[in-house]
Amino acid sequence: MTSSLQFRSLPLVEVAVRMAFENDLDPGLSLNQVLQIYAQLSSKFEVPQVDQTFERAPGHEVAPSFRQIPSCLFRSKSRPGVLIRLQDNMLGVYWHAVAPEADQAGYPRFSALLSAFDEFLQAGELAEVSWPAFDVANITYGNFLRGERSTTDLLAYFDRRSIPELLADALLVQNYEAGWKTGSGIDRRLVLNLASVIGPTGPLAGHLIRTVAGDRIREAEPWRGLIDRLHDDLQQFFGSVISERAKTEWGYISEN
C-alpha cells in the first residue's frame, strides 16, 4: 500500500469498506452462529443488534427479496464509531464520527478498520461459518463542510475540472453525483449532498462530500490486495478533486 494523504484538520465524518460475497451466505447460517461470533469478540464488541435496513451490496443492483438472516450490527467497544455490518450478501466495516464538529473526529485510521474486519472473519471461522468468497468491494470516504455556503464558496473547495461549470449559477447545490471507470478498471464516484449530521448539541447543517472507489477482485487476488488497490486509488482520486484552497484549509502535509 502506498502512503496515505495526510491532513492536519480534515473534516472527515465517515468511512465505509463494503465487501460483497460472490454467493449469499449459507442458508444454514443461524443466529446461534452469529452469537458464537459475538462470543469470540465479546471483549471488543457490544452485543449484536438486529437492523431492519438492508444496504445494497457493491456490484448488486438491488437488495434481495428474501433474506436468510437479518442484518446484524456489531459495535466496537474500544474504537468509538466503528461497527461491523453482516448481511446475506455483504460484510462491511464502518466508522462514523461521534463528534462531527471536531476535525477528523476520533478517526482510528484505516488500518484499524481492516483489523476489525479481519478479527470478524477469524471469529466466524472459529464459529464454523463457511464464508463465501468475496467478489466486489468499494470504499467510501465522507467529509463534511459545515454551515450554509454560497455556491461560489462551496465550489472553491473543488478543482475546477471536477465539478461542471453549469453548477456555478446554482442558487443552492442540493445533490450532485458523477461516476466513471478509470483506465485501470476501478469505478469512481464523486457525490455532493446537502445534508445534516448529528452532533452533541443537535443537527449540523452543511454539505457532505463522498468519494468512492470500487472494483471486482482479480483472479487469485486476496481480499486485502483488492482493498489496498482501492484505498491507493481513493487517495489519488481525493487529492485530484479538491482545490488548493481545500488542501491549505485542511492542512495538507506534502510528502516532499
Structure confidence at residue 65 (pLDDT): 55
Structure confidence at residue 63 (pLDDT): 60
Residue with cell 491549505: 248
Q: How confident is the model at residue 30 (pLDDT cuts 50, 70, 90)?
A: confident
CA distance 145 to 150: 12
| DSSP H or E run through 236 | helix 223-241
Structure confidence at residue 62 (pLDDT): 65
Structure confidence at residue 25 (pLDDT): 86
What's the whole-model pTM score?
A: 0.92
Q: How confident is the model at residue 255 (pLDDT cuts 50, 70, 90)?
A: low
Lowest mean pLDDT among 10-19, 38-47, 101-110, 178-187: 101-110
Structure confidence at residue 99 (pLDDT): 66
Give Cα separations from 91 to 87, 101, 140, 235 (angstroms). 6, 29, 14, 23
| pLDDT score of 253 more than 90 | no
| pLDDT tens readout for residues 74-126 | 999 988 899 999 998 999 999 998 765 555 557 888 999 999 999 999 999 99
Q: Helix 110-126 vs helix 223-241: angle between axes, to the nearest 10 degrees?
A: 160
Structure confidence at residue 43 (pLDDT): 95
Please provide the average confidence, as pLDDT, over all residues in the chain: 89
| pLDDT score of 67 more than 70 | no
Structure confidence at residue 68 (pLDDT): 63
Secondary structure class of 87 (helix, strand, coil): strand
| pLDDT tens readout for residues 159-218 | 988 888 888 888 889 999 999 999 999 999 999 999 988 766 778 899 999 999 999 999
Torsion of CA 140, 91, 183, 246, to 10 degrees: 10
Cα torsion 117, 122, 127, 133: sign: positive
pLDDT > 90 in the chain, percent: 62
